[in-house]
Amino acid sequence: MDKFTTHTGRVAPLRRSNVDTDQIIPAVYLKRVTKTGFEDGLFAEWREDEKFLLNQAEYKDATVLVTGTEFGTGSSREHAVWALKDYGFKAVIAPRFGDIFRGNSLKNGLLTVELPEAAVEELWLRAELHPDAEVTVDLAEREVRAGDRTWTFEFDEFLRWRMMEGLDDVALTLRDEDKIAAFESNRDAWRPRTLPAAV
């Protein structure tokens, strides 16, 4: 996973709440068996509208998506995170995220930051008035900075460390393989097994 410490870039102010993962990337784009190449599926239906935010020249190069509450609810598709990353987003700011989406984002180096509604509103206004103004999303300091404004955000300490180090969960877990093996040796024998198959 890519390391994330801090990122500075332009904001795309997406004034929508309840943006579910079907809207982030519709199911017809989930047929690929690779982890890349999903940028064409990002907000595919909205992008057909030439007035849509990401079709406007001033927001084309935005790398920080600022959006309304309950972003990424619904389907567990990690493709939603891959699509945002492939398109060029490095961070997403919203008042609240769907749990599975949030977990997926942090496993792929896409930083998801929760800020209160008022802060999101201010970031939207700033980006609408000054599309070329940049914001900084700083994981090391747990801060979002825009002009003279600074907001701090909460972030789980372990997840922050893992993201800043770019660590792979599987390798971390396998350090405790002895504990897994010990747990397995103590499991009840009647617990179901898929093999051999009984039908």
Partner 1 sequence: MSRTPHEAEGARPQTLAEKVWNAHVVRTGGQQPDLLYIDLHLLHEVTSPQAFDGLRQAGRKVRRTDLTIATEDHNTPTDNLFTIADPTSRKQIETLRTNCEEFGVRIHSLGDENQGVVHVVGPQLGLTQPGMTVVCGDSHTSTHGAFGSIAFGIGTSEVEHVLATQTLPQAKPKYMAVTVNGSLPEGVSAKDLILKIISITGTGGGKGHIVEYRGQAIEELSMEGRMTVCNMSIEWGAKAGMIAADEKTFAYVQGRPHAPQGEDWDAAVEYWRTLKTDEGAVFDKEIVIDAASLSPFVTWGTNPGQGVELSGNVPDPAAFEDAIERTTAANALEYMGLEAGTPMREIGVDVVFLGSCTNGRIEDLRTAAEVIKGRKVAGTVNMMVVPGSAKVREQAIEEGLDRVFIEAGADWRFAGCSMCLGMNPDQLTPGQRAASTSNRNFEGRQGKGGRTHLVSPAVAAATAVSGHLASPADL
Place of tokens 């009647």: 190
In the shown chain, the binding pattern of residues 135 to 174 toward partner 1, with x for contact by CB under 8 A and - for none, equals: ---------------------xxx--x-------xx-xxx
Task: Between 10 and 73, name the residue whose CB sits nearer to partner 1.
Answer: 73
User: Coil, helix or strand for 62?
Assistant: coil
Under the binding rule (CB under 8 A), the answer on residue 129 touching partner 1 is no
d(CA 166, CA 163): 5
3-state SS, residue 152: strand
Q: CB under 8 A: which stretch of 4-12, 94-102, 122-130, 131-139 binds partner 1?
A: 94-102
Is the Cβ of residue 65 or residue 81 nearer to partner 1 in the bound state?
81
Choose among 61, 39, 60, 65: nearest CA to 50.
60
Closest CA to 16 of 43, 37, 55: 43
Rg (CA), the chain: 19
How far is the C-alpha of 149 from the C-alpha of 174, rounded, in Å? 42
The dihedral through the CA atoms of 169, 102, 6, 23 has a sign that is positive
Interface with partner 1 includes 130 (CB under 8 A)?
no
- Quickly tell me which residue has 């990002």 as its tokens: 42
Name which position in 66, 75, 92, 93 contacts partner 1 (CB under 8 A): 75
Number of H helices and E strands in the chain, helices first, is 8, 7
5 or 76: whose CB is closer to partner 1?
A: 76
Q: How far is the CB of 134 from partner 1 (least distance, A)?
A: 27
Please report whether residue 112 would count as binding partner 1 according to CB under 8 A.
Answer: no
Q: Nearer to partner 1 by C-beta: 61 or 99?
A: 99
Applying CB under 8 A, the residues found at the interface with partner 1 are: 16-18, 20, 22-23, 26-28, 30-35, 45, 68-70, 73-78, 81, 96, 98-100, 103-104, 107-108, 117, 156-158, 161, 169-170, 172-174, 176-177, 179-180, 183-184, 186-195, 197-199
